[in-house]
């Protein structure tokens, strides 16, 4: 394989740049030419390709976001769009691609690989940590640290005013960010989509805290919690416990940006390097993950079909410590 490409797709996550850098530098060291595809699958369809040498990825390891930018591309969901993408890759002489993204990105790569004989290898780039076959995804560690720092700040003002804060963190289908940031910031309760009994538990906690006259409370809720997110929860609490002065904070996209943590940079670099080695070794249509410090090769089909399960040990911690 003489020419390979790398792109970022779906939601951006801190550490994507470290991964791009690793792909480029490993590719070059192993004798391949590397090009970047800008704006995800959209750039593939539009032939928005940029040559990347070692210098082009210098000074980006510490930056959040992605120098290649990212996009959600409706056209790639259609056979015509994928045909255009394939033609552009062939025209540019690209023989293999490293995709950095989440399950949508790998679904696209999987569909593409069923239609065309073309090698894709993926690295898990999403703050959600919901992909099966890797302990951590690129972006997750930074996102939980950002959320934790924000909740620490909210704790100061909650204590100062004796207020109850509901802090909504990202996670439409997965509660990983809520769980870890909630445990680490000493939240009084954590509500996640994977658990349906946590609202009842929360109401019990608030009853207990009300009896103790503990009015400053932090409740962390994942945006996809089945109760309907922070505002719905605030309504329930105001109705049941008018004594609490209840406030809502939505952390939102602040969790997506920022300088990647040290672990993030190392993980992203390792997965990027291993992705290129795998591609040049002839592996295809697999996501490169890391489980217990070992590199894993998970077929896209499996990575997208299964979701990472919440660690029961973390749920127990919430139960015991909150």
Shortest Å distance, C-beta 243 to ligand ATP: 39
In this structure, the number of other CB atoms found within 10 A of the CB of residue 207 comes to 12
Q: Does 300 bind ligand ATP (CB under 6 A)?
A: no
Of residues 24 through 63, those in contact with ligand ATP by CB under 6 A are 41
Active site residue 156: no
Q: Which is nearer to ligand ATP, 108 or 289 (CB)?
A: 108
How many chain residues touch ligand ATP (CB under 6 A)?
A: 18
307 binds ligand ATP (CB under 6 A): no
Nearer to ligand ATP, 60 or 111 (CB): 111
Backbone angles phi, psi at 215, to 5 degrees: -95, -25
100-159 residues in contact with ligand ATP (CB under 6 A) are 101-105, 107-108, 111, 126, 128
**H or E element: which one contains 248?**
strand 246-250
Of these residues, 12, 103, 128, 225, which one is catalytic? 128
Residue nearer to ligand ATP on the CB measure, 95 or 128: 128
Provide, rounded to whole angstroms, the least separation between the CB of residue 47 and ligand ATP: 16
* Residue 286 tokens, joined: 């697999």
Instruction: Judge whether 322 and 190 are in contact, CB under 8 Å.
Output: yes
Q: Does 11 bind ligand ATP (CB under 6 A)?
A: yes
3-state SS class at 289: strand
Q: How near is the Cβ of 75 to ligand ATP at its closest, in Å? A: 7
Interatomic CA distance for residues 307 and 103, integer angstroms: 9
Task: Tell me which of 73, 100, 147, 148 binds ligand ATP, using CB under 6 A.
Answer: 73
Nearest 10 degrees: CA dihedral of 53, 58, 62, 63?
A: -60
Between the two ends of the chain, the Cα-to-Cα distance in Å is 53
- Buried/exposed 291-312: b ≥16 CB within 10 Å, e otherwise: eeeebbebbbeebbeeebebee
Token digits of residue 119 = 């090698």
Q: Which residue is nearest to ligand ATP (CB)?
A: 104
Residue 271 tokens read as 């997965």
Closest distance between ligand ATP and the C-beta of residue 44, in Å? Answer: 9
> Applying CB under 6 A, which residues contact ligand ATP?
9-11, 41, 72-73, 76-77, 101-105, 107-108, 111, 126, 128
Which residues are designated catalytic?
Answer: 128
């Amino acid at each position: 394989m003489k020419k390979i490409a790398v792109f970022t797709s779906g939601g951006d996550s801190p550490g994507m740049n470290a991964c791009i850098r690793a792909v480029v530098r490993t590719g070059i060291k192993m004798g391949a030419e590397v090009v970047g595809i800008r704006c995800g699958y959209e750039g593939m369809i539009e032939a928005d390709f940029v040559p990347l040498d070692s210098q082009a990825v210098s000074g980006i390891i510490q930056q959040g976001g992605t120098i290649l930018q990212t996009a959600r591309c409706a056209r790639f969901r259609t056979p015509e769009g994928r045909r255009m993408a394939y033609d552009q890759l062939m025209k540019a002489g690209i023989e293999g691609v490293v995709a950095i993204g989440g399950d949508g990105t790998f679904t696209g790569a999987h569909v593409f690989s069923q239609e065309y004989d073309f090698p894709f290898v993926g690295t898990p780039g999403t703050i959600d940590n919901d992909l099966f076959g890797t302990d951590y995804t690129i972006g997750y560690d930074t996102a939980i640290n950002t959320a934790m720092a924000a909740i620490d700040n909210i704790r100061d003002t909650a204590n100062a005013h004796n207020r109850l804060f509901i802090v909504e963190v990202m996670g439409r289908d997965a509660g990983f960010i809520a769980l870890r940031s909630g445990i680490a910031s000493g939240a009084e309760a954590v509500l996640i989509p994977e658990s349906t009994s946590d609202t009842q538990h929360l109401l019990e906690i608030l009853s207990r805290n009300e009896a103790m006259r503990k009015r400053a409370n932090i409740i962390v809720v994942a945006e996809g919690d089945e109760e309907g997110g922070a505002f719905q929860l605030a309504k329930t609490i105001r109705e049941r416990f008018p004594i609490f002065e209840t406030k809502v904070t939505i952390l939102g996209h602040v969790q997506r940006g920022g300088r990647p943590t040290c672990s993030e940079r190392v993980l992203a670099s390792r997965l990027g390097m291993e992705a290129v080695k795998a591609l040049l070794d002839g592996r295809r249509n697999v996501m490169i993950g890391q489980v217990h410090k070992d590199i894993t090769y998970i077929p896209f089909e499996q990575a997208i079909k299964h979701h990472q399960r919440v660690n029961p040990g973390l749920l127990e911690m919430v139960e015991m410590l909150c």
